[in-house]
Structure 1
Amino acid sequence: MKITKAIESWITRERVRIFCILIVPMLLVLELVKTWSDPAHFGRFPYGHDFIAFWSAAQLAAEGRVEALYDPSVYFALQRERILSGGILPWFYPPTFLSAIYPLGRMGFAAAWAAFSVVGIGGLALAARPFLKGRDRLGWALLLGAPVIGVTLVQGQNGAIVAALFLGAFAARSAGRTWLAATLIAGLAIKPHVALLIPVALVAAGDWRLILRTALMTLAFAALPWALFGIESWKLALDHLDSTQLIFADQAPLVTMVTAYSGGVLMGLPFQVSAGLQTLSAAIAVLIVWRLWRARTIAPDLQLAGLMMAALLVPPYGFRYDMVVTLAATLLIVGRAERHGWLPGEKLAMAALWFLPLILPNIAHVTGLPAGFALLLLGLWSVWRRAVLHGRTPPPAGQRSPAA
């Protein structure tokens, strides 16, 4: 306890602000130096190692060759032309995501990466605005200066876009803009496994209007790739659904994953045991989200924080760049702590959730343990503890809670 207090006393607003200013630019500069220090790569665009897969897919879609996404001789060859580090990435995404990135196929790689990044970071800032309103600049610094944002930019991943859709949807719900909320939730069809707990939360809250409108918008979004690329796009995606198992066959990606199943595989556990751990993880997440959203006296910001903290505990497939969703949940807890006081050990827990995604692969390499999964459990426990101890906000007489 003394060690925890000593560490927390070191975590001051001034030091945190310095970290927020330095980390993302430092990661971008380090990636530039690392790339250009190799004479063979000097002068080449250094970012977007994962984005290469998105851009190559968008190119093929723009050319009307969606079937080539599943032809390694074509799709992998496009990636090899630009790859600087990492490996070739198979196409794992649903046609809804292909519809979203389709315009990028008409752009050069650097411009497409920049546009993709601006949409993600800008969308996240816009979605977070209602939650950060009235707070000082530190809240914005914690959001935009987080290490996971730097990771997302360097890799060219979609974590910020997913978090923006998540936050934006529930900000719209709180404002009574149900159709907008439904549209944004349906937009999560670009990465549906991250949104699996949203129906659980909405059913628990009895928000049937939003459920119905979300179902309608999801059907509309599912029809979009059909209109753009034909029904064959869905047939191909479903036929190749089993290809996602390839990600678990390679040890290298496992150290950057944050799920119970990947953690079990990383530790060398048998398939059945790893699958059992994932089932248990999902069951815990469902139970806690159900109880948080079923209660009528839990503060809405804590309900949302619990939902986002639990999002990556359900699917067996999830990486550290997906933890932008967890980052958003962390900021909701920090905001409540700033208003109502910190619980013992809470500041250290939030600091770990904010910073450690940067070095999760290093921790996994050294220890062989699933540090990312441990962080998710820490975050969900933090939400649950605060909800039980300090999260109750009784509604005015005669009114239901805003979470209802």
Structure 2
Amino acid sequence: MTDIGCALRSGDWLTAARIKSYSWILLAFTMATIAGWIALSDGLIDRHGKPIGTDFSNVYAAGVLTLQGKAADAYDPPLQHATEKAVFHGRDVPFFGWHYPPFFFAVAAITAMLPYAGGLALWVVSSLLAYLAVMRAILPRPETLLVSAAFPAVFVNIGHGQNAFFTAALLGGALLLIERRPWVAGILIGLLAYKPQFGMLIPVALVAGGRWSTITAAGITVSALVVISFAALGGDVWHAFFQSMTFTQNVVLEQGGTGWEKIQSAFSAARHWGADVKTAYTVQTIMALSLATGLAWLWRSEAAFDLKASALASASLLATPYVLDYDLVVTAVAIIFFVRHGLACGFRDYEISALGAAWIVPLLSRSVAGLTTVPLGLMVLIALFALTLLRAQGDRASEISGHARIAQA
């Protein structure tokens, strides 16, 4: 084996000093890019004619409509787009659709109580702090905040004004608390219903692991959110939401309105390579069933909980046909639980290199897919999930072998 091969296998190339250096470089690049992006904008419109915070403009506009008593209009593309333009004083900004369940209007309305810049700052800063706090709680080490903040998906998420920090904080927090405070974990999982596509496999893991308290708390939380939204906004808004799902599925997902290179799913990869919609859904379904099988086995097993948590985080991203590169912030949850297990029990061959690849891939995935159609983000996520299952199996085999040696002695 070559020196490079040996280094990749052992992970010796990724020293603590290099981790810190790479993190500081990427963090400095992120901060400089964001500062330049804002400085070169014209009235909160960037050089490409898009609002600063791009996708956040749909959240803010939906909040404006909510405060006006017209929340259901957010699900009507022409009315939503007209409101987005009005936010920027009639400037012809691109349309960014509102696709969230009605209970998320509460968050949108809070941001719309401030001027756009203030609402965006509140949205980004509060969610970023929540994400960083959860990462630090999972792995309380001095370098955690630096590495988590420098994670390239952080830059992508900030650039899009998206909500992946909330998603990562809720999922990471739930997994952190599930053994000590299962009801609180269930509440956090219930709040994840604002992004329902990421909850497809959570019930599989919870049922397989017998986490009934968490399941009950999650069900109560979702039910409460639905009831409160009905009481506050009326039934028409739910009717509008369900009607809008056809537009979301057909235009945004199936026709690739978002851009195949941005979506990091098996469905998108198949469509990018020329497959028809039915074939792409078949590929995605096979992927989801395979993930569910692996998760069920893992969560029923006696494997370390850190590996179960890591696998659920990566599987949650892989199972949905609609996962964008900014959603890869959730990969930080998979990485940090795996790292916590590795620091406690030691790392095996290729694990450190695989974790390094998972950390850097959000910086490269869109560009690589756009230039070559190679779904790098998807491939790395699959590798991380598979490696987690292999680690659990390897740990179990080592434990059995150790018991056998003790018995023989």
Q: TM-score normalised to the size of structure 2?
A: 0.88
User: Which residue of structure 2 lines up, in the alignment, with residue 123 of structure 1?
Assistant: 130
Shift of 1:362: 0.5
Candidates 107, 130, 133, aligned match of 1:100: 107
Please tell me whether residue 280 in structure 1 is matched to residue 286 in structure 2: yes
CA contact (8 A) 2:51 2:57 kept: no
Shift of 1:252: 5.1
- The one-letter code sitting in structure 2 at the alignment partner of 1:12 is T
SS in 2 for 1:110: helix
CA contact (8 A) 1:302 1:391 kept: no
Question: In structure 1, how many angstroms separate the alpha carbons of the residues matched to 2:95 and 2:256?
Answer: 12
Question: In structure 2, how many angstroms separate the alpha carbons of the residues matched to 1:30 and 1:209?
Answer: 45
User: Which residue of structure 1 lines up, in the alignment, with residue 213 of structure 2?
Assistant: 209
Please tell me whether residue 223 in structure 1 is matched to residue 227 in structure 2: yes
Please tell me whether residue 262 in structure 1 is matched to residue 263 in structure 2: no
Question: In structure 2, how many angstroms separate the alpha carbons of the residues matched to 1:24 and 1:95?
Answer: 35
SS in 1 for 2:347: coil
SS in 1 for 2:336: helix
User: Which residue of structure 2 lines up, in the alignment, with residue 91 of structure 1?
Assistant: 98
Shift of 1:339: 2.8
User: Which residue of structure 1 lines up, in the alignment, with residue 259 of structure 2?
Assistant: 253
- The one-letter code sitting in structure 2 at the alignment partner of 1:280 is I
CA contact (8 A) 2:174 2:186 kept: yes
Question: In structure 2, how many angstroms separate the alpha carbons of the residues matched to 1:86 and 1:213?
Answer: 41
Please tell me whether residue 193 in structure 1 is matched to residue 175 in structure 2: no
SS in 1 for 2:178: helix
Q: Name the CA shift for 1:123/1:252 in 2 (closer, same or farther; >3 Å).
A: closer
CA RMSD between the two structures:
2.6
User: Which residue of structure 1 lines up, in the alignment, with residue 5 of structure 2?
Assistant: 4
User: Which residue of structure 2 lines up, in the alignment, with residue 21 of structure 1?
Assistant: 24
Task: Give 1:1-400 correspondences, 5 Å limit.
Answer: 2=2, 3-6=4-7, 8-34=11-37, 36-37=39-40, 47-80=52-85, 82=88, 87-133=94-140, 136-175=141-180, 177-244=181-248, 245-248=250-253, 249-250=255-256, 253-295=259-301, 297-390=302-395
SS in 1 for 2:188: helix
Question: In structure 1, how many angstroms separate the alpha carbons of the residues matched to 2:386 and 2:22?
Answer: 26
CA contact (8 A) 2:186 2:213 kept: no
- The one-letter code sitting in structure 2 at the alignment partner of 1:123 is A
Question: In structure 2, how many angstroms separate the alpha carbons of the residues matched to 1:25 and 1:95?
Answer: 38
Question: In structure 2, how many angstroms separate the alpha carbons of the residues matched to 1:259 and 1:305?
Answer: 18
Shift of 1:357: 0.7
- The one-letter code sitting in structure 2 at the alignment partner of 1:130 is A
- The one-letter code sitting in structure 2 at the alignment partner of 1:370 is P
Unaligned ranges ≥5, structure 2: 400-409
Report Cα offsets for 1:137-178 as digits up to 9, x if no partner: 223322222111111112111111011111111222221x23
Shift of 1:38: 6.8
Report Cα offsets for 1:262-317 as digits up to 9, x if no partner: 1111111122221111011101110111011011x110111111111100121111
Report Cα offsets for 1:101-138 as digits up to 9, x if no partner: 221111111111111112212222333343213xx322
Question: In structure 2, how many angstroms separate the alpha carbons of the residues matched to 1:252 and 1:191?
Answer: 17
SS in 2 for 1:10: coil
Q: TM-score normalised to the size of structure 1?
A: 0.89
- The one-letter code sitting in structure 2 at the alignment partner of 1:230 is G
User: Which residue of structure 2 lines up, in the alignment, with residue 402 of structure 1?
Assistant: none
Shift of 1:246: 0.9
User: Which residue of structure 2 lines up, in the alignment, with residue 400 of structure 1?
Assistant: none
Q: Name the CA shift for 1:391/1:232 in 2 (closer, same or farther; >3 Å).
A: farther
SS in 2 for 1:343: coil
Deviates further, 92-101 or 211-220:
92-101
SS in 2 for 1:174: coil
Deviates further, 340-349 or 237-246:
340-349
Question: In structure 1, how many angstroms separate the alpha carbons of the residues matched to 2:294 and 2:93?
Answer: 37
Question: In structure 2, how many angstroms separate the alpha carbons of the residues matched to 1:200 and 1:363?
Answer: 33
Unaligned ranges ≥5, structure 1: 395-404
- The one-letter code sitting in structure 2 at the alignment partner of 1:267 is W
- The one-letter code sitting in structure 1 at the alignment partner of 2:124 is S
Deviates further, 245-254 or 264-273:
245-254
Question: In structure 1, how many angstroms separate the alpha carbons of the residues matched to 2:133 and 2:111?
Answer: 22
SS in 1 for 2:69: coil
Identity over aligned residues, as a percent? 26
